[in-house]
Structure 1
Amino acid sequence: MKKLVFISLVAAGAIALPAAAQAQSTDSNKPEVTIGAQVGRHNLGIDLGDLDADNGEFDDLNIKDTGTIYGGFAAVDFPLGENLFAGVEGNASLGDGPIEAEYGVSGRLGFRTEGGAKIYARGGYQWVDLDIENLTGVSEDFLDDNGISTPDVGGDYLVGVGVEVPVSKVVLRANVDTIAFDTLRGTVGVGIKF
């Protein structure tokens, strides 16, 4: 169902692209709001290599630490002169594999090219809701029956870089982020400027 919703959003963006291709004048001093959909891959960076090097006790534990995420974002950017801008962005995604959901907020600081493309760095905080059973291959019933408590939501600081390319009111974008330099998260998306 999540994939169907995302595909529908992307298709709607693709249909709207030709209609939005007519250039419209904008006031460069006004905040720019962008809302859109995104899809990506998130590698959680879990490595048991150091733990099982000596005795091999984790050899049977099957860690699946990469999942696909589907979600949305909203950003507001404020001009800081002719080419610089600062803004804030929020995101929320559902996932598959080891990721049930993730959500966060970040600040953005970047440069706008003469053609309107934005290149930026961002920093903020990101929470990840894990599917422990899918991540480890160990059933939640087994963990509960044996009194093993495993936290399934974690969060830490996020840093990353991104680029947005406008086509009138439609924005195509790509981001690469890390959470605490432990994970690697790449997303692509399409949004509409207001």
Structure 2
Amino acid sequence: MKKIAFASLAAMGAIALPAAAQAQDSNQPEVTIGASVGLHDLAVDVEDADLDGFDVDESGEIFGGFAAVDFPLGTNLFAGVEGNAHFGSGPIDAEYGASARLGFRTDGGAKIYARGGYQWVDLDAGNLIGVPDFDESDFPNLDTTAGDYLVGVGVEVPVSSVVLRANVDTIAFDTLRGTVGVGFKF
């Protein structure tokens, strides 16, 4: 009798093991790494600053990458973290930041999420005010890096083995930043 019980338990374990392994895989974190491009409008208010006579360039293209890790919270909800780094053109030398994500995954695998975090932007003062010969090193106390909280929304859509994504963010509700990208899941 003990042999039959042991054999039955062993058989049930052999049948249940693949199902348990598959269930464990669906609860594993999902890592996405990719490249992104976008436009960041700094929304410089020329009327508030004494910038008469300057050709203010308040938006610049950004080119860079991102890395995100999402953790399932049940069947369709997820929470995660994301980091980004971009080089810029025009008034933006670079920008980088980190955010938390909370969203919903559709049955087809698309993700819709909100995010919040902190973003730093390193400005090119000369390009910002339209003076290309401006040398920031002539002003040792000039700090051209600004940072504040970031809030935004985004969507990721799986297409074959890649993920297409789009995000719209604001930094302290003063700027507007839109990015699109492509990523690979690990």
Question: Does the TM-score normalized on the shorter chain lie above 0.5?
Answer: yes
TM-score by length of 2: 0.82
1:109 to 81, 102, 119: 102
Alignment-derived partner of residue 48 in structure 1: 46
Q: Could you list the runs of 5+ residues in structure 2 that have no partner in the other structure? A: 1-21
1:95 to 76, 88, 93: 88
1:167 to 151, 159, 163: 159
The number of residues matched between the two structures is 163
* CA distance in structure 2 between the partners assigned to 1:86 and 1:148 by the alignment: 42
Alignment-derived partner of residue 140 in structure 1: 134
The question of whether the paired residues in 1 share the 8 Å contact of 2:155 and 2:166 is answered with yes
Q: Work out whether 1:152 is the aligned partner of 2:132.
A: no
The residue correspondences of 1:1-194 to structure 2 (distance < 5 A) are 27-51=25-49, 58-138=51-131, 139-141=133-135, 144=138, 149-194=141-186
Q: Which entry has the higher C-alpha Rg, 1 or 2?
A: 2
> CA 1:142 to 1:154, structure 2 compared with 1: closer, same or farther past 3 Å?
closer
What is the aligned-residue identity percentage? 72
* CA distance in structure 1 between the partners assigned to 2:136 and 2:155 by the alignment: 44
TM-score by length of 1: 0.79
* CA distance in structure 1 between the partners assigned to 2:80 and 2:137 by the alignment: 43
Equivalent AA in structure 2 for residue 117 of structure 1: A
* CA distance in structure 1 between the partners assigned to 2:183 and 2:123 by the alignment: 27
> CA 1:30 to 1:140, structure 2 compared with 1: closer, same or farther past 3 Å?
same
